[in-house]
Every structure is written in structure tokens, then in C-alpha cells.
Amino acid sequence: MSPEGQKVVGFVAATAALLLVVAVFGQRVLGVAAGPENELITQLKRLEQPGTVFDERTRLVGTKVSYQRLSVVVDASGERAVVTGTLDFTGTLGGAVAVGSLGLEKVRFERRDDGWQLVDGPAPRLCAILRALERRRQALQAGSIPDAPGLDVERAELFRRLERRVFTVEAWYIRSEREGVEVAEDFRLSGALPERPVDEKGTRRLSLSEDSRGEFSFPRGLL
């Protein structure tokens, strides 16, 4: 074979090998080549597909999701990273509660043998807020309402006295910022007092604060 022919064969073989690598490893290889920042952002953007499960335990499912204004910080070891940005989320919790949220997220990743993996899920701040809201819902359903500065005492007494109490949440609309979290809750409350039946629907405004562990509570009480 002539030298020119050998060069052509070598070029074709090299091209075929490259195509095989891309076909086998796909976007993972391309992501590494582009750097961890692009790889991590791409991984989050894939979650914007309708029907993505954001939390298996609570069945938090997104129907319209958008990560925006993303920035990536990789630590000195190159093994851990944090992606900070804004998450615009619409979906459902437990198949029953509508959830709309706009706010800050900090998503942690660790590099493992099979690539970058989420440490505590793709929406840890939203999930922490929803955990606090769900704990509150359970407490109200049980009529277990601790006293707190700013508590609506008259409203709390209604919950405590109510027999055959059923408290359901239809929707939580969340706005979370560094300074705090505001929530509009659409609810329904039914049951019976000794003097009258109760069946009401309404919207209540709630304020949450975040502690040093990233967990949320209600500084002015549950009501």
C-alpha cells in the first residue's frame, strides 16, 4: 500500500474509533471535555423534562421546571461542587397537593466512579420547605398546636376543639429568598364544634425561617 493510502486508512480508523467512543460514552465524555461546569449544568437541565421525580419519598413530581442563573463552584479537590441558581418549579406533592415555587437553590454534587452524583437531591431547599409545611399540616390535622409568639390564638383554639377534624391542603405557592420564605396555602377545614358544623375553604399566608442546618420552621407559630 502506498504511503498516501496508509494515511487515508489511518485517518478513517481514527475517525471510526472516535465515533465509537462517543457512541459508547455519549455526553459524559463530551461533558468532561467541556469541563465540570458544563457537565453539572447539563445534568440539572435534563431534569426540566415534565414528569421528573424530584423526591421519591414524598412523590414530588415536576410538570414545568426551569433552572436559571446557574453558577458552579468546584472545590480544590475537584471532587465536590455546588451549583447555585434559581429554580422555577410547578408540580405536585404526593399526587394531591399542587406546588408552585420560585426561589434560591444550592445543589451539591460529588464525583464518584460513574461521574457526578447528587448529594441531597436536585432541589434540597424546596424539599426542606415542603417537609416543614407537611409537618405543620400533620400537626393541624391532629390539633397539636404549640403556643408561640404571634400565634393566632382564636384560630388555634378552633382547631383544638374541632371534632372529626379534617384539614387538607390543596396547594402551596412558595417564594423563597435568602432572607426568608413566604407561602400562600390553599386549604380546606371541616369538622364539628358542639355548637355548629365547620366547613371552610380559604388561603392563608405563612412565613418560614431557615436555621443553620438548612431546616425550616414557623417563627410566628403554625397559625
CA distances from residue 146 to 151, 153, 157, 161, 218 in whole angstroms, order as listed: 9, 10, 11, 14, 11
Q: From CA 75, how far away is CA 174, in angstroms rounded?
A: 31
- Whether 1 shows a pLDDT value over 70: the answer reads no
Task: Express each pLDDT in 67-92 by its tens digit.
Answer: 999 999 999 988 999 999 999 999 99
CA distances from residue 191 to 91, 142, 159, 169, 171 in whole angstroms, order as listed: 29, 12, 9, 15, 20
Q: Any idea which residue has 425561617 for its cell?
A: 209
| Contact status, residue 80 vs residue 111, Cβ threshold 8 Å | yes
Chain CA centroid to CA 104, Å: 10
pLDDT, position 116: 93
Helix (H) or strand (E) holding 69: strand 60-74
Percent over 70 (pLDDT), the chain: 85
pLDDT, position 36: 86
* Cβ-proximal residues to 140 (8 Å cutoff; 6+ apart), any chain: 159, 167, 222, 223
Across 171-183, average pLDDT? 94
pLDDT, position 5: 46
Across 99-103, average pLDDT? 97
Least confident of 13-27, 43-57, 140-154: 13-27
Q: From CA 100, how far away is CA 204, in angstroms rounded?
A: 15
Identity of residue 188: R
- Whether 38 shows a pLDDT value over 50: the answer reads yes
pLDDT, position 2: 52
The yes or no reply on domain 47-223 and CATH 1.10.3470 is no
pLDDT, position 115: 87
